Structure 1
């Protein structure tokens, strides 16, 4: 792919609210993500460039007591011939850092299949990551949840005209109890089954090897590799490929370190939807690991952007690159989710104390990425 940024819009705290990227090949694809922290107010910056409203993207999470810890987004893909106001939406995501009752540094990630052409429409890939009591250790639990077959696969388009649950009344809001959204499944004798399906849990620590990770992920990999989930998995892989479109996108913001938009761009290292890309990549995109563990594989496909999805987190958490740490903190902690208009200042700008602190959560993503992808060359999938 030869990706090129085509459109971008930002929230009133400087974070990206929409990013469009095109593959300039003759029959290339056109990608769009629309993303908001759920504490972003309506109106003004609460509308993406294409026209989706924050309250429609964020649904039930919009302006709640926990909204400053929750990011919601949609991922849409068309072709360069698709009208920009009618892009098919394939995935819906929800990422929450430090969910209630979990240790500091935890994440809850949900990505839902809303591709009307997918046989698993409405299904959810769920991941929970949390530090363990053991030094430098983590536990990740994965579950693949198959939606009820009675849900009608109504196409969703970007920009959103209304909330997803209004566009398709068969869907519940992604913040709802997981068991009410979809049931966990596993593969038994090559058949998807609800019987005895439990989350797949893998423990990570600095001594773990690729074979240990592969063994821990074996069950959930077998499930997501079932033919019924093929379309969902391909869409997730496209999301991974799109997810790291460069470290410094052209950014129109002027509220970060002065009125120079190019300087502002220097502070935007990462968009606020990458927890899913880091945590799910080992399941959906083996190239993310192969590209890092076997550098020569990139020589055969130089446009493979997937390993870059986690590079910034590794640079911050493992290599202790201070400006990377501040860049990540700008995206995730930034005013504790309180828009700049209501509470000017941030740790990056004036050393303000954040209302909700995501610093430890960014460390989690960096250390987990190092253990999942970089500890040694991975096994062949």
Structure 2
């Protein structure tokens, strides 16, 4: 048996605020993601199952002007009685399709403690995509600290000298790498430069890279979903779930994989959909979902739309619904942002998917509830 979902909690809009995975047969470590859309108010759904409150996790982003398109995450792992933080993450998108992702090493045992990487993505008017990566070192006098989950106080209050992830920008980081990707081109030079940058980062920060690789594999549900007997919806090995696409932290998986994980950085020559287990395009696991989004496959579209588009406003309303649930319209539409993620996943990990994606123009229709089973009663 593989990992099972052993604990979860939810936000006002029904998306996860915490997901714990564990191999319950071997008593393996807990793999925990705590995550909030930063517009989530304090209250009943403003605390994760383990006890981290939204204000502590979201930091300066909590209820801010862009909080409904900003997500904050903590990734932790360890035995059930001592789950410790490894990564602190901030993701934000704009309705034009731009993304900004910051990921910081908060492993108190890592030599890279306090280092952060900022990645940005911006579509251009000529349908290209600008991408940049910059490293942000911590102050030289920083004292590492083991961060435990639940998070008892904001990271910047637990560790003197660290700044909020909101305050990390390219201007405060060291020179990194910037390039333009062309969905119609080969991108050979850009990807070669990125691979060289990735090799330098992995060599300089091996422990940080290993932690990111653990996170990437926790976030990649593909193999866990396909193999029989692997259960993400309870302890019964006869049950298996293969529809867990509704979750956040997709952007950081795609952006970080190319830099921190050699097996992901290698990409794949093809999707090989006839025999998908013969290769692994982590985190190209998201490529089928995002490609389906681009090709207007309704249920995939609506599931991904629910996790990224905002329907609840600031502060987030309780049970605001979505296109999937009640055909409501979003306050902030993630359609362009999801398409950009799909293009990046394809260029980074499976370029053979690009022709079909280029030919498609995403559009989302409200889910047709006229044939809902429950309405028959």
**Kindly tell me: are residues 348 and 295 of structure 1, through their superposed partners in 2, closer, same or farther at Cα, counting changes over 3 Å?**
closer
Q: For structure 1, which segment, 45-54 or 1-10, has the greater mean C-alpha deviation from structure 2 after superposition?
A: 1-10
**Kindly tell me: are residues 343 and 76 of structure 1, through their superposed partners in 2, closer, same or farther at Cα, counting changes over 3 Å?**
closer
Q: For structure 1, which segment, 288-297 or 33-42, has the greater mean C-alpha deviation from structure 2 after superposition?
A: 288-297
Structure 1 unaligned runs (5+)?
185-197, 252-261
Which of 81, 93, 97 pairs up with 1:97?
Answer: 93
Are 2:166 and 1:175 aligned?
yes
Match of 1:45 in 2: 45
Match of 1:163 in 2: 154
Match of 2:193 in 1: 216
Deviations 1:204-251 (A, max 9, x none): 122333633432314522431233x11111111111111123579549
Contact residue 267 and residue 350 of structure 2 kept, 8 A = no
Structure 2 distance, partners of 1:111, 1:210, is 25
Are 2:135 and 1:144 aligned?
yes
Q: Tell me the CA shift for residue 348 of structure 1.
A: 2.4
Match of 1:256 in 2: none
Structure 2 distance, partners of 1:25, 1:310, is 31
Q: Tell me the CA shift for residue 59 of structure 1.
A: 0.7
Structure 2 distance, partners of 1:343, 1:364, is 28
Match of 1:74 in 2: 74
Which of 240, 257, 265 pairs up with 1:281?
Answer: 257
Which of 195, 214, 217 pairs up with 1:238?
Answer: 214
Are 2:103 and 1:111 aligned?
yes
**Kindly tell me: are residues 63 and 70 of structure 1, through their superposed partners in 2, closer, same or farther at Cα, counting changes over 3 Å?**
same
SS at match of 2:113: coil
Are 2:285 and 1:308 aligned?
yes
Q: Tell me the CA shift for residue 301 of structure 1.
A: 8.2
Contact residue 116 and residue 155 of structure 1 kept, 8 A = yes
Q: Tell me the CA shift for residue 83 of structure 1.
A: 3.0
Structure 1 distance, partners of 2:140, 2:25, is 37
- Paired residues, what number? 339
**Kindly tell me: are residues 238 and 208 of structure 1, through their superposed partners in 2, closer, same or farther at Cα, counting changes over 3 Å?**
farther
**Kindly tell me: are residues 250 and 24 of structure 1, through their superposed partners in 2, closer, same or farther at Cα, counting changes over 3 Å?**
closer
Looking at secondary structure, tell me which structure has more strand per residue: 1
Contact residue 335 and residue 343 of structure 1 kept, 8 A = no
Structure 2 distance, partners of 1:294, 1:3, is 28
**Kindly tell me: are residues 245 and 142 of structure 1, through their superposed partners in 2, closer, same or farther at Cα, counting changes over 3 Å?**
same
- Taking only aligned residues, the RMSD between alpha carbons, in angstroms, comes to 3.0
**Kindly tell me: are residues 334 and 324 of structure 1, through their superposed partners in 2, closer, same or farther at Cα, counting changes over 3 Å?**
same
Match of 1:199 in 2: 176
Contact residue 61 and residue 70 of structure 1 kept, 8 A = yes
Contact residue 97 and residue 105 of structure 1 kept, 8 A = yes
Structure 2 unaligned runs (5+)?
226-230, 354-377
SS at match of 1:335: coil
Contact residue 289 and residue 374 of structure 1 kept, 8 A = no
Contact residue 118 and residue 232 of structure 1 kept, 8 A = yes
Match of 1:34 in 2: 34
SS at match of 2:131: strand
**Kindly tell me: are residues 339 and 9 of structure 1, through their superposed partners in 2, closer, same or farther at Cα, counting changes over 3 Å?**
farther
TM-score normalized with structure 2 length: 0.80
SS at match of 2:188: helix
Match of 1:327 in 2: 303
**Kindly tell me: are residues 25 and 143 of structure 1, through their superposed partners in 2, closer, same or farther at Cα, counting changes over 3 Å?**
farther
Are 2:112 and 1:125 aligned?
no
Match of 2:4 in 1: 4
Match of 1:187 in 2: none
Q: Tell me the CA shift for residue 201 of structure 1.
A: 1.2
